[in-house]
Amino acid sequence: MPQEIDILVSEVGPRDGLQSIKRIMDTQDKLNWIKALAASGIQEIEVGSFVSPRLLPQMADCAKLVSETNKIDNLMVLALVPNLKGAELAVAAGARKLTIPPSASHAHSIKNIGKTPAEAIEEVHRICKFRDNLPVKQRPDIEVGISTAFGCTLEGTVSEDWVIEMAGLLARAGADSIGLSDTTGYANPAQIKRMFRRLRSEIGDEKMGGAHLHNTRGQGLANVVAAIEVDVSTFDSSLGGLGGCPYAPGATGNIVTEDLVFMLEAMGLNTGIDLDALIASREVLLRGLPDEVLYGNVPEVGLPKGFTYAAKRNS
Amino acid sequence: MPQEIDILVSEVGPRDGLQSIKRIMDTQDKLNWIKALAASGIQEIEVGSFVSPRLLPQMADCAKLVSETNKIDNLMVLALVPNLKGAELAVAAGARKLTIPPSASHAHSIKNIGKTPAEAIEEVHRICKFRDNLPVKQRPDIEVGISTAFGCTLEGTVSEDWVIEMAGLLARAGADSIGLSDTTGYANPAQIKRMFRRLRSEIGDEKMGGAHLHNTRGQGLANVVAAIEVDVSTFDSSLGGLGGCPYAPGATGNIVTEDLVFMLEAMGLNTGIDLDALIASREVLLRGLPDEVLYGNVPEVGLPKGFTYAAKRNS
């Protein structure tokens, strides 16, 4: 049974991280890495993406990863699906939770998935209908993260009203949860607070998703603090800050899981994650991707003297 | 006349930044850099430290810097003074604002200035009496920043009750404002909110100082967001993240001015600073310190498409 936690840290390195890297990591190396992450206490991992292997050959082993990682205790395995075909493949592989990334920006949506935002919402609707027709035990949880929700490198400002309207449409299309993604590293803390407040009032507590943040302009953890102020409780991040969006020029790495977990625990928010084990899992990642550059301050500097985990402090 | 601003960004690079670097920057190069910073709209700069040139030869030109930079329009020139002797030298040089960094940690205080915290408070009292005996026009503003207020690399946890008690003692000793410094990069956002709230209730609005934050564990801007939540309105930072504390092992660089200003402006908080001019001042700094490593994400990645300054957005 999963440990009682305050904040869910959802690791996206094996998907968002690897997606931005040209090299292909061996399936066994990925499995070792995912196991190390889970062993450190991470309770949700996005293991890959059901996209065409022609587009992203790094993700070609996603079905195998889903079926293997489903065996890991206390781990929710997440798979990205861009469309109905991906969802079908994911379910066939045994995926219990899917994440879909429709984009609020028209230009980004066309470039990323070849569909307008309206068509992407319709595709989410199709995926939800497909789910509804499955036997109950096979029905996956469907999470949607609205990409470019805070701005777009192609279009600039993205209408906040439209993002919230889109969240409402996605909720009515049948998504179980809707979160907001700062795909491009454009978000600022004031905007984060405003948008997640509006999101909650649009779709309600039950469908509230998390924040997917990038650290492009150094604002990643600042945005987390802002999101916590308005009770967001799920954050995506990647070990070593690996990753980015290949279709958003200049958009570098996700927020760093190690620094995020340190911050949350230091704030007294239990993540269920052991920082030493988490930091040690960098070595497992590097065994599969030798010489890859990893980011993160806490792994460099270490924990403060006298550091106490939230669970210990609160008990 | 200074522009109406929401947040005062106090640049500490010429003091805290240079202090951690062995090379000595030419006085003229420092002046060029300070002028470039002021021209970008920065309204307060800590130009140096009146310490023994044997201890910190980089700071030997502080008197000259104070008298020269006092001539710059719309700039408050700040000088660090560790003791009464430093304060006397500073006032003789024409300093109008002094900053004193007594440490809450006993071990750090001894190592940094050779005094216990109680002796350091007594020294602040002596400096305030010295100020009170000056002709009115010569009296400098006295700011105190309590060092290691959030933890110490030597002692670990520092008693929060003691830090707040110390702030009260410093207020009664005659300091005009008292802020809190995360000298060691130990602070977390929850602690920042708690401590600045307590500080305000201890010393009152009138004596509320700012936050001096380091980015050692990547938490710098996250801590700024937390401080803004409790209405802190002055933040120290250094251009390119130059700097650190030579007596706190592992404590690297101040928060990066460029990323801080970007965040504040993006949040709709007017700093009065032009980001292009600020980023251009990195070149002026580098002319005086060739090949020095500078940090900062915004200078690397650039401003988001469609970025608008707070003053323009709010007008």
**Residue-wise pLDDT tens digits, B5-52:** 999 999 999 999 999 888 999 999 999 999 999 999 999 999 999 999
Interface mutation vs chain A, best among B105, B152, B188, B264, most A CBs within 10 Å? B188
Q: For the residues B42-64, what does the mean pLDDT come to?
A: 96
Backbone angles phi, psi at B222, to 5 degrees: -60, -40
Strands (DSSP E) along chain B, which ranges?
Answer: 8-11, 44-49, 76-80, 97-100, 141-146, 177-181, 208-212, 234-237
Alpha helices in B116-187 (DSSP H): 117-132, 160-172
Q: How deeply is B23 buried, as exposed, middle or buried, from its count of CB atoms within 10 A (0-12, 13-18, 19+)?
A: exposed
* A92 has pLDDT over 70: yes
Q: Please state the separation of Cα A285 from the chain's center in Å.
A: 18
CA-CA distance, A74 to B250, in Å (whole number)? 36
Phi, psi dihedral angles at B41 (to 5 degrees): 115, 0
| Chain A residues within 8 A of B228 when measuring between CB atoms | 189
**A263-278: average pLDDT:** 98
pLDDT at A293: 84
Mean pLDDT of A281-293: 95
Predicted local confidence at residue A122, as pLDDT: 98
- Interface contact flag, B297 A216, Cβ < 8 Å: yes
**Res. B2: pLDDT tops 60:** no
Q: ipTM value of the model?
A: 0.94
Measured in angstroms, the CA of B190 and the nearest CA of chain A are apart by 5
Lowest mean pLDDT among A116-130, A209-223, B58-72, B251-265: B251-265
- A313 band by pLDDT with thresholds 50, 70 and 90: confident
The residue ranges of every structural domain in chain A are: 8-314
Q: Shortest CB distance from B263 goes to which of A189, A228, A305? A: A189
Nearest residue in A to B266, CA atom: A188
Q: How confident is the model at residue A245 (pLDDT cuts 50, 70, 90)?
A: very low
Q: Which of A156, A219, A263 sits opposite B306 (nearest CB)?
A: A156
Mutate to test the interface with B, among A153, A221, A237 (most CBs of B within 10 A): A221
Cβ contact B218–A221 (<8 Å):
yes
Q: For residue B6, which residues of chain A lie inside 8 Å, CB to CB?
A: none
Which residues does A contribute to its contact with B (CB < 8 Å)? 151-157, 184-186, 188-191, 215-219, 221-222, 224-226, 228-229, 250, 252, 256, 259, 262-263, 266-268, 296-298, 301-302, 304-306
The predicted model gives A47-71 an average pLDDT of 96
- Identify from B159, B259, B267, B294 which residue to disrupt to test chain A contact, counting A C-beta atoms within 10 A and taking the largest count: B267
Residue A22 has a pLDDT of: 87
Please report the pLDDT score of residue B249 as a whole number: 52
Residue A193 and residue B232: Cα distance in Å, rounded?
A: 18
**Stretch A66-83: mean pLDDT:** 97
Range with lowest mean pLDDT among A222-231, B151-160, B240-249: B240-249
Beta bridge partners of B256: B238
The band of B1, judged by pLDDT with boundaries at 50, 70 and 90, is: very low
* pLDDT above 90 coverage of chain A, percent: 87
Residues A153-208: tens digit of each pLDDT: 999 999 999 999 999 999 999 999 999 999 989 999 999 999 999 999 999 999 99
Lowest pLDDT segment from B77-86, B129-138, B249-258: B249-258
- What pLDDT is recorded for position A20? 85
Looking at the complex, report in whole angstroms how far the Cα of residue B42 sits from the nearest Cα belonging to chain A: 21
Query: How far does A195 lie from chain B, in Å, by closest CA?
Result: 13
A62 is catalytic: no
CA distance B91 to B173: 19
Task: State the pLDDT at residue B313.
Answer: 82
Residue B250 reports pLDDT greater than 80: no
- pLDDT value for A244: 46
For residue B244, the model assigns a pLDDT of 47
Looking at the structure, give the CATH architecture of the domain made up of residues A8-314: Alpha-Beta Barrel (3.20)
Tell me which chain B residues have a C-beta less than 8 angstroms from the C-beta of A226: 225
- CA separation (Å) from B30 to A88, B24, B61, B81? 64, 10, 10, 19
Phi, psi of A260 (to 5 degrees): -65, -50
Put simply, the answer to whether A219 touches B221 (Cβ < 8 Å) is yes
Model confidence band, residue B245 (pLDDT cutoffs 50, 70, 90):
very low
| Nearest-CB residue to B229 (from A151, A229, A268) | A229
pLDDT of residue B253: 84
pLDDT score of A250:
47
pLDDT reported for residue B300 = 87
Percent of chain B with pLDDT over 70: 95
CA distance B183 to B235: 13
What residues have CB less than 8 Å from B117, skipping those under 6 apart? Answer: B102, B103, B104, B105, B106, B109, B166
What average pLDDT does the structure give for chain B? 94
Q: What is the C-alpha to C-alpha distance for residues A286 and A293, in angstroms, rounded to an integer?
A: 9
pLDDT of residue A112: 84
- What's the whole-number average pLDDT of chain A? 94
C-alpha neighbours within 13 Å on the C-beta side of residue A237: 30
Confidence of residue B251 (pLDDT cuts 50, 70, 90): very low
- Contact between B286 and B251 under an 8 Å Cβ cutoff? The reply is no
Candidate list B62, B128, B152, B245, residue with the active-site label: B245
Distance in angstroms (rounded) separating the CA atoms of residues A34 and B197: 41
Residue A281 has pLDDT above 70, yes or no: yes
> Nearest C-alpha of chain A: how many angstroms from B159?
12
Contact yes or no for A185 and B250 at CB 8 A: no
- pLDDT for position A3: 57
Residue B275 has pLDDT above 80, yes or no: yes
Q: In chain B, whose CA is at the least distance from the CA of A220? A: B222
Burial label, A161 (beta-carbon count in 10 A; 0-12, 13-18, 19+):
exposed
Nearest to A151 among B216, B229, B306 (CB): B306
Measured between CA atoms, how close is B126 to chain A, in angstroms?
34
